[in-house]
Chains A and B, each alone.
Chain A
Amino acid sequence: MATAVNRAFWSDPDLSKFNPLSRIIAFDQFSKGFRGYTALVGNYEHTLDNVLPGFRDMSQPMLSNGTHWDTGSHGGHDGTYSLKIASRPRPRSVNMALKRFTFRKACPIQIETYFALKPEATDLTLSASDAGAFGLVLDLQDNERRIMPHIRYLNALNGERIEKWQFKRTLEPAKDVGGDQSLGETRSHHHFGADGWEDIPGGSQQLCYNEVPTKYNWHYFKMGFDLRTMSFTSLQCNDRIFDVSSLEPMRMPAWPNLNCLFNVCWTVEADSHKRSFLYLDSVLVSGDWEDA
């Protein structure tokens, strides 16, 4: 797989900390705005009451300067603002922000980010087991299949620090969301939930929590996926590179009206009655293709 041929970006302080494939699809620095990242509304017809329960906690991401009660504003990696995704203050509440693409050609793709995961600083304690998890989900469809690679970092479960990477291939059953007046084409499956995750071999990793909930250190994350074979190609967080040979995405037959779907979805999940926050300083999506 070719990395970027034009190495001029090595002298660019914004780009040189990334390792993109040959073509950059999107380079989103959130100090420049929301850049097309938005909320997910669970599928429904006729009334919001038909949205599946797991989607009801989801709301718009924020641009945050990371302001805390004890220090003031924290800022981002490169600028003042980062994209903040906040859970509700209850265990296993999940929120998500996504950007919606389609792909021009089935090819290797790669997602990179600088991120921080922290709990709400409501207690003057370590609070390291309050942030539940964060993750990256891709939502993809070619002519035959809908494919959903799921990766999460499970920080804590039921108050216990777990600190390991997981993937999910187990399908969540799709449900009709039209009620009594269903038109039959709109379905929904809450695949972001806490069930069905499997450990990634060798996937234990302690992140840099840094002692109090109001300090966050930026981490590097990279995931690669090949749209030709619909399989994982890489997974990295800071100094750890994981073996992805045994990882599988969710696979299902193609759904209606989703051809060439390519959604990049970032999730955050609470483990306690405190909000969990995922901060993304910047996200770089790249691919390796020729049009000819």
Chain B
Amino acid sequence: MRESITAVVARGDTWSGVVASEPYDVAWASEAVVFLRSLGAEGHPEQARAWIQISPDGMRWIDEGSMLPIPRVDEIASVRLSNFGTYLRVMTVLPEGSSFKALLTLSLKE
């Protein structure tokens, strides 16, 4: 049996400006699907993009190369990942005056 978990990393957190999700330890996992859902928005956050970052230590981050759109309210965006090392997070920069309530979910599998 392969270990798996679906982790809700941001649960209705309001994202605005320059924002990144909390670091998540993924060394045990070989694949991930990142889901981003909007539970509510102000302005036009869908004009921005979010992107995946990886890290050797959970503190210093570098772009992994994958991106995902900021979804409209009640819509959902996703991206599939592999070969990501030990730590994962999602980062975005939203237009001034725009924000959304993020439901960020990582589906990880050994």
Contact = CB atoms under 8 A, between A and B. Distances in A.
B60 A69 contact: yes
Nearest to B59: A122
A67 B22 contact: no
Interface in A185-237: none
B12 interface: yes
A48 B58 contact: no
B27 A65 contact: yes
A60 B3 contact: no
A101 interface: no
B8 interface: yes
B102 to A, nearest CB: 11
Interface string B47-84: 00000000011111000000000000000000000000
A81 B22 contact: no
A107 interface: no
A86 interface: yes
Interface string A89-123: 00000000000000000000000000000001110
Interface residues of A, number: 26
Interface string A46-87: 001101000010011011110111000100000011001010
Contact of B59 (A41, A81, A86, A121): A121
Interface residue range, chain B:
20 to 34
Contacts of A67: 25, 27, 56-58, 86-87
Interface centre among B3, B13, B22, B87 (most CB of A within 10 A): B22
Main secondary structure of the interface of A (DSSP, over half): loop
A56 B5 contact: no
3 nearest A-B pairs in the assembled complex, by CB-CB distance: A69-B57, A60-B7, A48-B12
27 contacts: A41-B11, A49-B12, A56-B11, A56-B12, A59-B8, A59-B9, A59-B10, A59-B22, A60-B5, A60-B7, A60-B8, A62-B25, A63-B25, A63-B27, A63-B28, A64-B25, A65-B27, A67-B27, A67-B86, A67-B87, A69-B56, A73-B86, A80-B28, A84-B25, A86-B23, A88-B22, A122-B59
Given A86-B23, A120-B58, 17 more contacts: A33-B3, A34-B5, A39-B8, A48-B101, A49-B12, A51-B12, A59-B8, A59-B9, A59-B22, A60-B8, A60-B9, A63-B25, A63-B28, A67-B86, A69-B60, A80-B28, A122-B59
